Amino acid sequence: MTTMRPSYALVPALAALLSLATAVAFAGEAALEPVDSGADLREDTTEDADSRSAEVAAAAEQFVEPAETPSVVPLADAVTTAGNLPASLRILGAEVAPGTSERLSWAATELFEGVPVSTPVLVMNGAMPGPTLCLTAAVHGDELNGIEMVRRVMHDIDPEDLSGALIGVPIVNVQGFRRGSRYLPDRRDLNRYFPGNPNGSAAARIANSFFENVVSHCDALVDLHTGSFERANLPQIRADLRNPDVVTLTQGFGSTVILHSTPGVGTLRHAATQAGIPAVTLEAGGPLQLELGEVKHGVKGIETLITSLGMVKRIRLWGDPEPVYYRSTWVRADSGGILLSDVSLGSTVRKGDLLGTITDPMSNARVELRSPYAGRIIGMARNQVVMPGFAAFHVGIQTDQSPAEMDAAVARDDETSANDGAYIDGISE
């Protein structure tokens, strides 16, 4: 990557942020989400008339203007004391001057149709120096909420007020997006091929081009996703909490659920973090829909992060920190039939509470799904016909473990999950 800008480490300001975030708990168990391999997206996305978004929307309104500025050392201050001056940002063959925004485009060099397919890359270079934060959405082409989050964040901020740079890519997988599909045209999942390979498969080449031309400019990255295949997620950050830089990044999002999740090899989150760019995934809602409550929650979380990083002076922090979970488990269907939920996304449940029922449409036999733990519904399937083994409810279990205890718990969970098929059938991001 050739850039005139100095590379800013996020660590100093994030360390200051750490001292502020005393109440932040840690998430632990792998938050893997099942994917039904082979099942393509359905045309019918009829949504259950649950109250799923209401609670989220209410939470999104809990923003407060703090009475006084918290004692965070802004990252921008930390870097300006080093004598840096704002510099142009050279990316994708363009030079974006300080205090300006440009809409650039990125096109992978290898294309299925032989015709260049380009996608917008929004670049905002702040008037003051600072870190470069990247927002990527629709790596899975059917995940729409993140597209709107990127648009809102990029248009909410004025480059004159910004320290550092924002790079927003609303639709990474433009070919999947056009077809309303999670996948690339060859059914490959782009988010299994990062950082890519210039001599590999088409997916590997696209991943490589994106990683080299865009991601390499980032100092930190937030990859935006939704649940997959008729499942929706409560807005949540998924992060590898064994990585201290990633842990610090998670603490900037304010009142958002944080789940420990070891990133799969090939995911953008994994590849970026491996390259020294702390990265997290923000999951919110489900695929093929634009859900305003989830979008608002995500935007507020990202804008809180931007503020926490000292990239804007405006202070926008969450009011009540939301409980955070370290342990999570999926409740699966043991029989096939019609799944009807008795809970909503975000519901608090006790051990043994009824989550939903599965009814065989022929025999009328009815099976109940009950929560194995006390916790909260952080992900769930929409009402639908399911097969045995289908993951229906994702139950998050709150913890107040310290980071040291977390490490031990995570290591144990990883050992367990390696032998547990339940965790191996894929993740949503």
Q: Which residues bind Zn ion (CB under 5 A)?
A: 140, 143, 225, 429
| CA gap 33, 56 in Å, rounded | 20
DSSP 119-179: EEEEEEE-SEEEEEEEEEE-SSTT--HHHHHHHHHHHH--GGG-EEEEEEES-S-HHHHHH
Compute the least distance from the CB of residue 146 to Zn ion, in Å: 9
For residue 43, the tally of other CB atoms under 10 A from its CB is 7
DSSP state, residue 192: G
Which of 217/225 has CB closer to Zn ion? 225
Residue of 92, 101, 108, 117 lying closest to 166 (CA atoms): 101
Compute the least distance from the CB of residue 302 to Zn ion, in Å: 17
Which of 269/296 has CB closer to Zn ion? 269
Compute the least distance from the CB of residue 230 to Zn ion, in Å: 14
Compute the least distance from the CB of residue 180 to Zn ion, in Å: 14
Which of 191/371 has CB closer to Zn ion? 191
Compute the least distance from the CB of residue 429 to Zn ion, in Å: 5
Which of 29/143 has CB closer to Zn ion? 143
Which of 158/186 has CB closer to Zn ion? 186
Compute the least distance from the CB of residue 428 to Zn ion, in Å: 5
| CA gap 404, 116 in Å, rounded | 49
Compute the least distance from the CB of residue 32 to Zn ion, in Å: 13
Which of 143/240 has CB closer to Zn ion? 143
Compute the least distance from the CB of residue 136 to Zn ion, in Å: 11
Instruction: Decide: 351 and 372 in contact? Cβ < 8 Å.
Output: yes
Instruction: Decide: 290 and 144 in contact? Cβ < 8 Å.
Output: yes
Q: Cα 105 vs. chain centroid, distance in angstroms?
A: 23
Compute the least distance from the CB of residue 236 to Zn ion, in Å: 13
| CA gap 314, 240 in Å, rounded | 29
Instruction: Decide: 273 and 194 in contact? Cβ < 8 Å.
Output: no
Instruction: Decide: 201 and 350 in contact? Cβ < 8 Å.
Output: no
3-state secondary structure of 385: strand
Which of 132/136 has CB closer to Zn ion? 136
Which of 125/181 has CB closer to Zn ion? 181
Phi first, then psi, for residue 227 (nearest 5°) are -60, 165
Phi first, then psi, for residue 341 (nearest 5°) are -85, 150
| CA gap 167, 296 in Å, rounded | 19
Q: Output the CA–CA distances (angstroms, integers) from residue 250 to 163, 172, 229, in the order listed.
A: 20, 23, 26
Which of 143/413 has CB closer to Zn ion? 143
Instruction: Decide: 247 and 24 in contact? Cβ < 8 Å.
Output: no
Which of 5/297 has CB closer to Zn ion? 297
Compute the least distance from the CB of residue 228 to Zn ion, in Å: 6
